[in-house]
A and B are shown apart, each in its own frame.
Chain A
Amino acid sequence: MPLREPSTIFFQSDNVRRTIIASYWIIIILALPLWWKTTSIERLSLPSSRVRNQASKALRLPVHIQLPGSYLDTTKRSQDQLAQTLSKQGVDVVFTGGHIEGSNPTYILKHATNGLVLSDRELEYDFSDESKLSTILSELLCPPQQGHVVAPYSPRFRLSFTLLNEDSTSGNYVRSWDVSRGIRQYITPLLDQLSLLHNFTIESQVQYHAPLAFKPRPTRLSSEDLSVFVNSAEWSLCDQPLEMPESFLLPQWGGIVVHDPPSLSVDDIFPIFARQLLSLLGVSPLPVGVKYTGDVPISRWQLEALLRRRTLENTHSSQDTLRSIVTLVDQIEGMPVGWNVKDDILDALDALDKVYASSSASLRETVKQSTDAIVLASRAFFNPDMLALLYFPAEHKYAVYAPLFASAVIPVIAAAVRELLAWRRQRRQQT
């Protein structure tokens, strides 16, 4: 067969060769977005500026106090002192002589000489002695924080009542207790009042073998004994005055009542449990000298002080949480952010906006919105999807891509460059 001149074969023409090279490049360029889409992590943009803006705000809750008209001017000094104290804690006090219209109710001070008596939103106070006014009001409206004793906020608490017998084989033990009556009588009324903040699940059990890790002395437990009481060195115990039956609190965890037989009555035990539960949930005791005459266990003053405190805490910590999410997502580039995270963040921001909007109108609404905000913000923060690709580093990707793509792309680039040079030379020769 005779040899043919290569330039006469159709696929050896310059145009065909250039089309082939161009088609490679077109395919590579068209494939780039697809490759980018399939290998990138879904990272929705977060409303960062809205979060930062929100986080820089500080919530203030107003409190209206109505004084008898005649004392409105004479107690100016106490009023200023109280306003100053409470202002640091995010509460603005407004004193008035008469009733203020609005859904956020007013606390009413009345003049009476038979001591400090509390009922509903009223306080009887002897205005002849002004010296204690600001202290008493400050303790009632913003009770001093019990610090680490109060359990962190949670929308649901599980209350577990456990009766522990040290050693039931000694023949001296309590087989069962009337826990339902104790709970009904002493605990449920408290939980009903706190239902705005928390839901509760209650359960109880009896343990017949719960040996102590130390030998108790006959009458008293020392604070050293307490530190090993729960067989756990991690719980720091607060020293509280012990009484008979002896009882103490484990901060943020629970309370313990030590009871010495002969007889067990839930009427001895459950009032102490109720008191411990109030401390753990953050209900402050009334200031010394204040008498309370209401028919529900927690007075309006205490309950609303707790609501204010939880609202401020929840708002503050949901702002912090949102800011942390934004910072974290900014810092870690490989962290995916899905729709559920973004939706939770947006809903939390909306709830926070509503907190600020309703803060001067209705305390109950503000509480509700602030709990929504913290639940949504925590759910966004702990969303497990955000951990998905955290441990798949970019170096790993390059290590896999480089051997395949580098070796394949180099001939393509080389051919393109060669062809380009040939084309330029051809044009120069033509001109």
Chain B
Amino acid sequence: MATVPTILLQILATFIAGSGLAQASSSSGEEFSEELQIRPLRDGRVASTFSFRTFLHGATPRSPESLGSDDKSQHYHVFPLALGQILREYAVTELHLSMNAGKWNYDEWGYPGELGVATGAELWAWMGEGGIYTVDERWSGLRNALSGLFCASLASMDEQRTTSPLMTFVPEGDLPNWPGPHLLRHASLPSEHVCTENLTPFLKLLPCKSFSGIASLLNPHRLFDADWHGMSAHVLWHASQGVEVRLSFQLVSDPLRQSSSKRRDWSFRSLFDRSIDNRCPVASSSTIDVKLPAEEAYSLEPSPSSSDGGIGRYNLNVDGHLPSDIAMRWPSEFQYPLGSASVPLVPLALQRTLTGASQANGHLAVRVQNRLNEELRVVYLETMPWLVQFYAHTLSATVDGRKHAGLISNVSYFPPLHHSRPTTFQAILTLPPKSTVALSMDVSKAFLRYTDHQPDAQRGWDLPPAIFVPLRNGSDRIDGHSLGQRIYTPTLLVDLATPDFSMPYNVIIFTCTVMAFIFGSVFNLLTRKFVVVHLDDQHKE
């Protein structure tokens, strides 16, 4: 969008702590709360989920109809202004951004606290249509603005990666009742890697940054050392409550890796190398939930202020004594659970591979195992950049090795367009109880122009994960209330035909030589004058 040059004038009022006490009345409809959930996992690791919620009570998303005119002033206390500017500039109703590193192990870790655990970056947004800018123009602006805000390469999620998979991504909040419809835009960038440069701007969006409260545990040295880590930002609108911004950070740490005695004991010190020394004064609630092991002996220090349903809860804002460090200890050494006796944590087991040695063709194989004793219907979504194209007619499905009809229904397929549109393949799979469904499809790999190749070192092309969403029991409705929790497969890597970039000039010279040779030969033949040379008889002698 064309904008006039703008200069930012800052006016700052600074308060230096002095003698008197000044606590102005909390006037606004803004509310900030923070929460940390810690969950010991059965493979000895520990999952932590930080979530920071800010409510803007009574606020509504900006209507796209008002985009041409001046917006109302934004005055916030705890709501992040930098994010608010972006949301209003592009009239975004709902937004979900996640950036993760590593592969979430559903089999051992169960469902994550925040569902968006796709490797790399994933962004999806619901935006109303109408006004002077199209949804695609605003989606492009939104990507660029978020790139700037989070120091990530989200801007490269261009139209070649943007899809609109309506069956899989339903709004988590409410959509305002505007004259124009709301449209979904989704893009994923599996090669994006989350690191410190993304965490720093993330922390700046928090009212207490990482100075106090639960956020003071966010120590980049330990977060990015974890086996799996990821951050996400969510913006939703609840008709009854207003706009909610939820920023969260998840990590899976491995205490066994650092322990010399095969113990999975953990504490804030061992996980984050920090402790909570101060409360965040603007947080209306600040809680730490620790999931308590069900059938094992353990000790938790200090003891939680309340424990209910297998969860011990610490309330930082109420307790007289601030539990700066929490530690959980087990009396015995950790024995890795062997065998398949353990109860499945998620209903599906997924496997997805890209096979085929040639650089032109391949084969996509997906194995979905239904672990439940009942039939399960799942939404299956594949989004592929145009680099890999499906031969959709070769799609076949078998159940435990036998052909089976009626497994795949409600197929929607948007074939890719070179250099402009990715593939979107959505279908509903009906999985018989306790069985494995194998899907397979032939794919072709694109032959790229030399300018299509990335400038960085060649390691192949990352392909986004497939997504499976179980539908609730027997429900045929595909709206927000019948979808279960999303499950992502790991990403894939595809090797495309890659030229030797070191010798373009040699190639030019060689090609030109051949061309000139052919041209010269043809030209000579066309213009050559043949004459008969009579040799004298004397010469013969």
Contact = CB atoms under 8 A, between A and B. Distances in A.
Nearest to B26: A175
Contacts of A258: 14-16
B21 A261 contact: yes
B14 A175 contact: no
B530 interface: yes
A339 interface: no
Interface in A184-207: 199, 201-207
A173 B22 contact: yes
Interface residues of A, number: 83
Contacts of A20: 526-527
Contact of A172 (B7, B22, B71, B77): B22
A152 B9 CA distance: 11
Interface in A201-240: 201-212, 216
Given A173-B23, A254-B9, A202 B531 contact: no
A254 to B, nearest CB: 3
A43 B161 CA distance: 35
Contacts of B70: 199, 201
A162 interface: yes
Nearest to B79: A205
Interface in A131-172: 151-152, 154-172
B505 interface: yes
A407 B21 contact: no
Nearest to A169: B278
B455 interface: no
B524 A411 contact: yes
Interface string B91-103: 0000000000000
B211 A403 contact: no
Contacts of B20: 172, 261-263
Interface stretch (B257-265, B304-312, B416-424, B514-522): B514-522
Contacts of B28: 176
B357 interface: no
Contacts of B529: 6, 12, 17
B5 interface: yes
Interface string B274-287: 00001111100000
B405 interface: no
A257 B14 contact: yes
Contact of A204 (B22, B75, B526): B75
A160 B8 contact: yes
A258 B17 CA distance: 11
Interface in B385-403: none
A254 B10 contact: yes
B246 to A, nearest CB: 19
Given A400-B508, A408-B516, A273 B11 contact: yes
Interface in B469-522: 505, 508-509, 511-513, 515-516, 519-520
Interface string A1-27: 001011100001000010011001000
A277 interface: yes
Given A162-B13, A201-B71, A203-B73, A261 B18 contact: yes
B14 A404 contact: no
Given A263-B22, A404-B512, A212 B16 contact: yes
Interface in A377-431: 378, 399-400, 403-404, 407-408, 411-412, 415, 419
Contact of B5 (A156, A171, A260): A156
A403 B512 contact: yes
A162 B15 contact: no
A211 B524 CA distance: 84
A175 B71 contact: no
A378 B207 CA distance: 38
B15 A166 contact: yes
A357 interface: no
Nearest to A13: B529
Q: Which of A152, A173, A205, A277 has the most CB of B within 10 A?
A: A205
Contact of B24 (A176, A183, A216): A176
B208 interface: yes
A62 interface: no
B182 interface: no
Contacts of B23: 173-175
A269 B75 CA distance: 17
Interface string A247-261: 000100111111111
A157 B9 contact: yes
Interface residues of B, number: 63
B62 to A, nearest CB: 14
Interface in A80-114: none
Interface string B225-243: 0000000000000000000
A205 B81 contact: yes
B523 A411 contact: yes
A100 B74 CA distance: 47
Interface in B1-48: 4-28
Contacts of A164: 12-15
A400 B74 CA distance: 56
A176 B27 contact: yes
Contacts of B15: 163-166, 173-174, 258-261, 264
A180 interface: yes
Contacts of B10: 160, 162, 250, 253-255
Contact of B18 (A151, A160, A207, A260): A260
Q: Which of B12, B24, B74, B281 has the most CB of A within 10 A?
A: B12
Nearest to B85: A203
Contacts of B519: 408, 411
Contacts of A203: 73-76, 81, 85
A210 B85 CA distance: 21
B523 A264 contact: no
B8 A156 contact: no
A177 interface: yes
A5 B531 CA distance: 8
Given A24-B523, A156-B5, A174-B22, A206 B17 contact: no
Contacts of B25: 175-176
B209 interface: yes
A118 B534 CA distance: 118
B532 interface: yes
Contacts of B18: 172, 260-262
Given A160-B9, A209-B212, A262 B21 contact: yes
Nearest to A162: B12
Contacts of B9: 151, 157-160, 253-254, 277, 280
A199 B278 CA distance: 42
A315 interface: no
Nearest to A207: B207
Contact of A257 (B13, B278, B515, B520): B13
Nearest to B71: A201
Nearest to B16: A166
A166 B281 CA distance: 13
Nearest to B531: A6
A329 interface: no
The 3 closest A-B pairs by CB, nearest first: A262-B20, A254-B10, A407-B516
Given A201-B70, A415-B523, 10 more contacts: A6-B532, A7-B531, A165-B15, A177-B24, A180-B75, A204-B76, A400-B508, A403-B516, A407-B516, A411-B519
14 contacts: A151-B7, A156-B5, A161-B11, A162-B12, A163-B12, A168-B281, A172-B18, A180-B73, A209-B212, A255-B10, A262-B21, A264-B24, A407-B512, A415-B523
